[in-house]
Structure 1
Amino acid sequence: MKFRVNRDVLADAVVWAARALPNRPAVPVLSGLLLEADGEDLVLSAFDYDVSARATVEADVAEPGRVLIPGRILAEITRSLPGGQPVEIVTDGSEAVLTCGSAEFGLLTMPVEDFPTLPTAPPKVGAVGGGIFASAVGQVAPASSRDETLPMLTGVRIDIAGETVTMAATDRYRIAAREFGWRPEQPGVTAAAMVPARVLVEVARSLRGGEVSIGLGDGVAGFESVGRSTTVRLLDEQFIDYRARLTDDWPIRADVRAAPFVDAIKRVALVAERNTAIRLTFGQGQVLIQAGGGDIGRGAEVLDAELSGDEIQIAFQSQFLLDGLAGVETEFVRLNMQSPSRPALIAEVPGDADPAFRYLVMSLRQA
């Protein structure tokens, strides 16, 4: 096997594929990246039985072949190579020799025949712009749980109904949901899937360019864009009825400019001890943001707000509140409330249309 490839192209592809490598591989070969050179393409693959990643780049292939190289060290090496120089990789017995300019590395290869067969991509069900996809994942994924003992809560629910896709996540203390349009392969298609949030975040982070194709089938989801593809084993489809919880009756509504609101909460939260509350007092024409009062000190700031309904003081865990506000993409954010002891719904203010992004967050009991 012998090929030559642009240094920046190789480093980018290796680092991207290496993200799928397991931290504690069940067998040693799963820590390797599979390099396959043929024709004018170099394909780099990683697989841990749950998640697979493939990146295809152009290469000058002199001798086709396959080689399995320890993935993390390859990623470190390619990132450190001098720029402006091509990279050549040649297999020589049990060694893969990598040269770039005056730098040379000999990496011991792994038995390629022991590497598991990667899953085939599931049937494509539709596609969406990479920017919209990344935005939706960024809005919803923070509400997923990190507690692996409850797998259902570590995923993002994807509901497909014709030309509309809804993503939702919850960790029991909050629910985030985002709706967006897409281009289905067949009109009237319906499907549902639970995708691990950590995988979806990595996919969204790396597949911003162009259009993202989504495939579903046989308990696997597939995502593909600009020469890169990922497959992931789906979680159990069981999930809460999140839509019913997001369509309650809200007698109190407050509209605030989103960016100044976020900045003010971050400033005031500097004196809040860990897991203490941010208190919001909504009155006519303003909102008072308060925190602290313990061993560190206290902070307060007043912003303009348009209130509809009774005046109210309500408290939230600061990071939960900020995660919801970070998902708002409109100039104004709307807080829909019932009482100080009930959850509040954070939503965008798009005029008369239903908000695309909604975030339900539990309030905190105040002393």
Structure 2
Amino acid sequence: MELRIAKSALSSAVLDVLRVIPAKPVTTILGGILIEADLASVSFSAFDYERSLTVMTTADVSVPDRVLVSGKLLANIAKVLPAKPVTMLVDGNSLAIIAGSARFTLPLMSVDDFPRLPKPDDPSGTIDARVLIDLIERASTAAGKDESMQMLTGIKIDTEGQDIIFGATDRFRLSCQIAQWSPVVDDSQHSILVGAAELQDLAKALTETDDVTLHFGDGTLSVTTARSTATIRLLDVEFPKYRALFPPEYGTAASVETAQLAEALNRATVMTAAFPLVLLDFSEKGIRVHLASEGTGTVDEWVEANVYGVDVEIKTNAQYLRQALAAAHTDMVTIGIVKDNRPYLVHPGTLTSPEMYMPFSAPESEYRHLVMPVRK
């Protein structure tokens, strides 16, 4: 192999692919990055049997070949190379990496021992990259991290015609968003469960200008762009029928500036450490954020808000509410509350004609985030 590649292209591709490599690979081979060069381009791939990622980029290739080297070491080298064109060439049993006056060599690993990369199934449809990234980011805020409850570590993806729905829950909060995609078959329906962490890594490898194709396969989800091909093995566990958990009506609704409420929550939680629990009073005066910390002190703050319906007080995990506010991605949010010990809703936007919405219900087409309060 001998090729010449831009330093920025090499760094971007290698660092994206590195996310697929486990911190502690089961075998040395699975810690490698496969480099495949043809006459016009070069690709970098990693695969750990659970997921794969191939990133392609342009290069001036003199000698096509395929080699395997340590992914971690290649990434470390790519980070520190000078901002010069990079030459990569096989030199005996090593891969030489040269940029300016800097020269590195990496021992070659057995390319024949690297597992065969999975191939994507037939295309199922396309989606705007910005929409997909947003769906993943929002759903991930509610996904669980406890591997002993694997079903809660995933993101449920359903398609119903031109609607694509992402949902996730860790039992304490629930995220759901409906967006638009373009299916190959208009009335197609799919229902899969994919690891949230794997989807987050995928989102980091996408750019907002990518044209993204989704491939719903038998046991895998593949995501392809002009630059990359990713496959993720599906979670083979049942997921709760979460969409039925959203209450149809709320007795109280409050429209509030997202930043003001988030800042008040930040100030309140300096009074506590491990469990940032706060009380929120909703009344015609607005939203009162208060906290009493035994042996430390108290904090009280009123946040201006338009509150409709009955007065209510809830106790909640401030961190969960802050994350729900951040995921709304809007200047204003609306909070819907059934009563003090029932899950409350956060969704983007405000009520412009509240008398038309009481008892309040959130449109299903919008992003919705449900949070379980703490019993007082």
Query: How does the TM-score come out when normalised to structure 2?
Result: 0.93
What corresponds to 1:363 in structure 2? 373
CA deviation string 1:92-111 (max 9, x = no partner): 22111111100001111110
* 3-state SS of 1:143 partner: coil
Structure 1 residue 151 displacement after superposition: 1.1
Deviation of 1:295 (Å): 3.6
Q: Distance in 2 between matches of 1:29 and 1:354?
A: 47
Report the Cα distance in structure 2 between the residues aligned to 1:262 and 1:340, rounded to whole angstroms.
20
1:289-311 Cα distance to aligned partner (Å, 9 max, x none):
11242344332221111222211
Residues 137 and 204, structure 1, Cα contact 8 Å, conserved in 2: yes
Residue 140 of structure 1: SS of its match in structure 2? helix
Partner secondary structure for residue 218 of structure 1: coil
- Structure 2 Cα separation of the partners of residues 283 and 78 of structure 1: 57
Secondary structure of the equivalent of 2:321?
A: helix
Q: Which residue of 2 aligns with 1:308?
A: 308
Give the AA of the match of 2:225.
S
Provide the residue aligned with 2:48 in structure 1: 48
Q: Structure 2 CA distance, aligned partners of 1:347 and 1:247?
A: 13
Aligned to 1:100: 99
1:190–1:237 CA distance, 2 compared to 1 (3 A): farther
**Cα distance in 1, alignment partners of residues 75 and 370 from structure 2:** 40
Q: Percent identity?
A: 30
Residue 343 of structure 1 corresponds to: 343
Q: Give the residue type in structure 1 aligned to 2:19.
A: R
Cα distance, 1:44 vs structure 2 = 0.5
What displacement does 1:248 show?
3.0
Q: Do the aligned residues in 2 keep the contact of 1:348 with 1:355 (CA within 8 Å)?
A: no
Does the Cα contact within 8 Å between 2:253 and 2:334 map onto a contact in 1?
Answer: yes
- Is the CA contact (8 Å cut-off) linking 2:194 and 2:235 kept in structure 1? yes
In 2, Cα distance between equivalents of 1:178 and 1:243? 10
Q: Which residue of 2 aligns with 1:261?
A: 261
Aligned length: 365
1:78 deviates by: 0.6
Separation (CA, whole Å) in 2 of partners of 1:311 and 1:50? 50
Alpha-carbon distance in structure 1 between the residues aligned to 2:364 and 2:172? 23
**1:321 Cα shift?**
1.1
Aligned amino acid, residue 114 of structure 2: F
In structure 2, distance between residues paired with 1:69 and 1:330: 45
Distance 1:46 1:350 in 2: 45
Query: 2:160 aligned with 1:164, yes or no?
Result: no
Equivalent position of 1:153 in the other structure: 152
**CA distance in 2: counterparts of 1:192 and 1:214, whole angstroms:** 13
Q: Any conservation in 2 of the 1:155–1:194 contact (CA below 8 Å)? A: yes
Q: CA–CA distance in 2 between the matches of 1:132 and 1:23?
A: 30
Aligned to 2:82: 82
The equivalences for 1:214-229 within 5 A come to: 214-229=214-229
One-letter code of the match for 2:249?
D
Alignment of 1:287 onto 2:287: yes
Distance 1:181 1:39 in 2: 38
Whole-Å separation in 2 of the counterparts to 1:183 and 1:262: 36
Q: Report the 3-state secondary structure (helix = DSSP H, G, I; strand = E; otherwise coil) of the residue aligned with 1:16.
A: helix
Matches within 5 A, 1:1-367: 1-83=1-83, 85-209=84-208, 210-236=210-236, 238-349=238-349, 354-366=364-376
TM-score for the superposition, normalised by structure 1 = 0.96
Instruction: Give the root-mean-square deviation of aligned CA atoms.
Output: 1.5
Note the alpha carbon deviations across 1:252-279, whole angstroms, 9 max, x for none.
2122122211122112222223114111
CA displacement, residues 148-193 of structure 1 (integer Å, 9 cap, x when unaligned):
1111111000000111001000111111111111111121111011
Contact 1:332 1:348 in 2 (8 A): yes
Of residues 223-232 and 73-82 in structure 1, the stretch that sits farther from structure 2 once superposed is 223-232
Q: Counterpart amino acid of 2:346?
A: I
For structure 2, list consecutive stretches of 5 or more residues without a partner in the other structure: 352-356, 358-362
In 1, distance between residues paired with 2:301 and 2:104?
58
Shift of 1:355: 4.9
CA contact (8 A) 1:333 1:346 kept: yes
Answer yes or no: is the 8 Å Cα contact 2:139–2:176 preserved in 1. Answer: yes
Q: Distance in 2 between matches of 1:56 and 1:136?
A: 25
Per-residue CA deviation, residues 323-347 of structure 1 (Å, 9 max, x unaligned), is 1111113332111112211111112
CA contact (8 A) 1:156 1:197 kept: yes
Q: What is the CA distance between 1:74 and its match in structure 2?
A: 0.5
**1:314/1:350 CA distance change after superposition, 3 Å:** closer
Q: Could you tell me how far 1:237 is from its partner in structure 2?
A: 5.1
Residues 273 and 296 in structure 1, CA contact (< 8 A), matched pair in contact too:
no
Task: Specify the code of the residue in structure 2 equivalent to 1:19.
Answer: R
SS in structure 2 at match of 1:327 = helix
> 8 Å contact 1:29–1:115 — kept in the other structure?
yes
SS state of the match for residue 159, structure 1?
Answer: strand
Q: Distance in 1 between matches of 2:211 and 2:281?
A: 43
